[in-house]
A and B are shown apart, each in its own frame.
Chain A
Amino acid sequence: MLWVDKYRPKTLAQVIVHEDIAQNLTKLVTEQDCPHLLFYGPSGSGKKTLIMALLRQIFGPSAEKVKVENRNWKIDAGSRTIDLELTTLASTNHVELSPSDVGFQDRYIVQEIIKEMAKNRPIDTKGKKGFKVLVLNEVDKLSREAQHSLRRTMEKYSASCRLILCCNSSSKVTEAIRSRCLNIRINAPSAEQIVKVLEFIGKKEGLQIPSGFAARIAEKSNRNLRRAILSFETCRVQQYPFTSNQAIPPMDWEEYISEIATDIMKEQSPKRLFQVRGKVYELLINCIPPEIVLKRLLHELLKKLDAELKHEVCHWAAYYEHRMRLGQKAIFHIEAFVAKFMSIYKAFLIATFG
């Protein structure tokens, strides 16, 4: 078992990083009532961990006995029927799903599933009516229509089910939904907190950590706890006992992008552009999301540039990322950004060195 899973806090009491939020959540559910919740924050900050711990707090250990189900829905939409397939993760009391997986038909998933859940309401041994919890991941990727129908369903079935929504950026969730939920911001853990967690794991595993080593991992992880733990484990596999100057292996795709950045800086020509396109394709084929590629590329380029060029480059990055969102083929826009950068950089070189 990976350390990330092994040392994931199972209950709210065990949470190390967001202790204050965990305490508040405990208070929230002791009153036997829970509003709709919206968790938002960057990835690797512990949203999911907190949600699972919260479910356990509400329903007890049965919340952890989940089964994966691949279900088909046949939805009658007026003149035609729509077939949808979606993987859900369900226990007796909760269902977890990512409705954005089905793309533009997510509206039907939202309407159908919540309706179905509201119909079979759990009844406990004393015959009292309870409520179910529906965990929806990546609500920020839901289409507008889906979000609108979500708001209606949230009110209609509020007696029998509670929604826990989870997303990265709350800007992309409509105001109507945000105002119906209790918003909980999960910030990324600070470097000190990451060090604390790493030392905790090290102690449990019986490892000797040289001073400064954990801090270096924390710094490399970009305030992403999951990544920090993963790279900590990688280091453990590569070399143990640790030495304080041991190299921390970077992610291979990041390495690759930094290579691309170096290529671009070295030569600005159509030929080089062609080569870069091949490399970008390679990244996209390996399922690195295009916006991550673009962001990382910008990050790498900014490191190498003079201050005056930085403004222009970041402007174009924002510009092309926006167009990428509106368009269909990501590769066009990444390539356009690279070409734009080359032209700016070349003009700059000519102006400076003649």
Chain B
Amino acid sequence: MAPVLQSSQPWVEKYRPKQVRDVAHQDEVVRVLTNTLETANCPHMLFYGPPGTGKTTTALAIAHQLFGPELYKSRVLELNASDDRGINVVRTKIKDFAAVAVGSAQRQGGYPCPPFKIIILDEADSMTEDAQNALRRTMETYSKVTRFFFICNYISRIIEPLASRCAKFRFKPLSDEIMSSRILHICDQEGLNLDSEALSTLSSISQGDLRRAITYLQGAARLFGSSISSKDLLSVSGVIPVEVVEALYAACKSGNFDLANKEVNNIIAEGYPVSQMLSQLFDVVVEADDVPDEQKARICKSLAEADKRLVDGADEYLQLLDVASNTMRALCNMPQEFSFET
């Protein structure tokens, strides 16, 4: 017998703010958009900033508040990276949607319902340059009846002509206090027990990304029940314990190759993801006070190379060993580069 399915909504969706004014920590955007709600007019918008700061939430909330549930389907087009967004889609689907005329402004059921449609392009930085170029004229031609909301992480990947047509808003990473208050709110609603240590761990491992924090919280709650310690959160997040990273760093510092090899073997056997290891080792190296800049630069170079190789699918053990050996050579001032001419 198959078990009964319960609707298991991710908390990220469940606790997504429904109203623009509930969006935390992004005051300028909220002020402009509340204004929009009153005057029922707005420019094209470009939201950018790191993941998990509320860009998509804001865009969806304003669309909902402008049109209400009835008109939403006919007035809002939402496209994100999992949809096909090649140049063909821009030329046909987006253009067709943008071209449709809409009726005049009439308030319906308490919603402003301004006389334009909204096209939300989520993760716009993954659109090809051609597709973005094809949008330029469309944006201007149909600006009477259509507003575009672009959402992206890196504004540098949006071509200049598009960016200059939009009002730009930067979304800041959330501060620890705001993050804690949201998390505590969710814990309250879900009946979870979170001590202050776990709370600070959660905000440090999620690095200002509220979505990640909530995902970790839900994972930990599913796995460990209602009282969650900081250790549980660490194990769900896949972050490597500080002691392990420190041990590898200390082994590199000692200048003993076999010791480092043993540590690397241990890390692989414990199953820690090496890409994560590299980024944590990077943090340790950059923050170390007793290492001269030149050595740091050498280590970072080898970290970068290993990261690229891992992306290409190279073996984790060999790459981590190479990084360890490079780090050791840098820290102990051994000869550096190996070239083909020997």
Contact = CB atoms under 8 A, between A and B. Distances in A.
Interface of A: 24, 27-29, 31-33, 35, 40-42, 45, 58-60, 93, 122-125, 128-132, 148, 151-152, 155, 159-160, 169-172, 178-179, 182-183, 185-188, 222-223, 291, 294-295, 298, 302, 307-308, 310-312, 314-319, 321-322, 325-326, 343-344, 347
Nearest to A316: B338
Contact of B4 (A24, A128, A152, A326): A128
A314 B8 contact: no
Contact of B238 (A183, A291, A318, A344): A183
B8 A33 contact: yes
State the main secondary structure of chain B at its contact with A. helix
Interface of B: 1-8, 82, 212, 215, 219, 222-225, 235-238, 256-258, 261, 268-276, 306, 309-310, 312-319, 321-322, 325-326, 328-329, 334, 338, 342
23 contacts: A24-B224, A32-B6, A33-B3, A40-B271, A42-B269, A129-B5, A131-B2, A131-B3, A131-B5, A152-B82, A159-B5, A159-B7, A185-B270, A188-B270, A223-B269, A307-B256, A308-B334, A314-B322, A314-B325, A315-B322, A318-B314, A318-B319, A325-B312
Contact of B271 (A27, A172, A187, A311): A187
Contacts of A314: 318, 321-322, 325
Nearest to A158: B8
B273 A169 contact: yes
Given A33-B8, A130-B2, A182 B222 contact: yes
A151 B238 contact: no
Contact of B5 (A130, A151, A319): A130
B5 A318 contact: no
Contact of B321 (A41, A152, A318): A318
A270 B118 CA distance: 70
Contact of A318 (B212, B270, B313, B318): B318
A291 B223 contact: no
Closest 6 CB pairs of A and B: A130-B2, A318-B322, A41-B271, A171-B275, A188-B269, A152-B82
Contacts of A186: 271
State the main secondary structure of chain A at its contact with B. helix
Given A27-B223, A58-B3, A124-B2, A312 B338 contact: yes
B10 to A, nearest CB: 9
A312 B6 CA distance: 56
Given A32-B6, A131-B5, A295 B318 contact: yes
B235 to A, nearest CB: 7
Given A315-B326, A318-B322, 6 more contacts: A122-B2, A151-B82, A310-B325, A317-B318, A318-B319, A322-B314
B191 to A, nearest CB: 14
